[in-house]
Amino acid sequence: MGGVLLVLFLIALVVFALLIGLIGGLLQLIVMLIIAGVVGWLADLVVPGQLPFGWLGAIAAGLIGGWIGHLLIGSFGPTIAGINLIPAFIGAVILAALVEIIGKALGSRTTA
C-alpha cells in the first residue's frame, strides 16, 4: 500500500511540475508578445504612416524587427522576455519604413 501511495505521489509531483513549466512558458510568451507589441507601436509612432493590421501588425513588427535588428547590430542593451529592446526597436523602425514605402508604391500604381 505504501508503494502505491509513493508512486501516486511521484506522478502527482511530475504532473504539478509540468503544469508549472507550462504556465511559466505561457506567461513568458504573453510577456514577449506584449513587449513586441510595444516596440512595434513605438516604431509605428516614429515612422510616418501606419502599420497595417493594428495591434497584430505592431506585434509582428516588434518580433520581425527584433530579428532584423539582431542580424544588423547584434544583441546588446536591455533584454525583456528574450527581446533586446534597442536592436528590436531599430529593426522595427526599418521594417515600418519599408512597409510604408512599399505601401505607397503599390498604392500609387493602383490609382494611376
pLDDT tens for each residue of 2-43: 788 888 888 888 888 888 888 888 888 899 999 999 999 999
Partner residues linked to 80 by β-bridges: 83
What is the pLDDT confidence band of residue 112, given thresholds at 50, 70 and 90?
Answer: very low
pLDDT of 111 > 60? The answer is no
Residue at 21 is within a domain: no
Residue at 13 is within a domain: no
Domain that holds residue 105: 29-111
Residue at 47 is within a domain: yes
Task: Give the per-residue pLDDT at 43.
Answer: 92
Residue at 63 is within a domain: yes
Q: Which three cell numbers stand for residue 54?
A: 493594428
Model-level pTM? 0.75
Residue at 11 is within a domain: no
Task: Give the per-residue pLDDT at 79.
Answer: 87
Cell 516604431 belongs to which residue? 43
| Higher per-residue pLDDT: 108 or 58 | 58
pLDDT in tens, 56-106: 989 999 999 999 999 999 888 888 888 899 999 999 999 999 988 888 888
Q: Which three cell numbers stand for residue 56?
A: 497584430
Beta strands in 2-100 (DSSP E): 79-80, 83-84
Residue at 66 is within a domain: yes
Number of structural domains found in the chain? 1
Amino acid (1-letter code) at residue 24: G
Residue at 89 is within a domain: yes
Distance CA 94, CA 73 (A): 13
Cell 501511495 belongs to which residue? 5
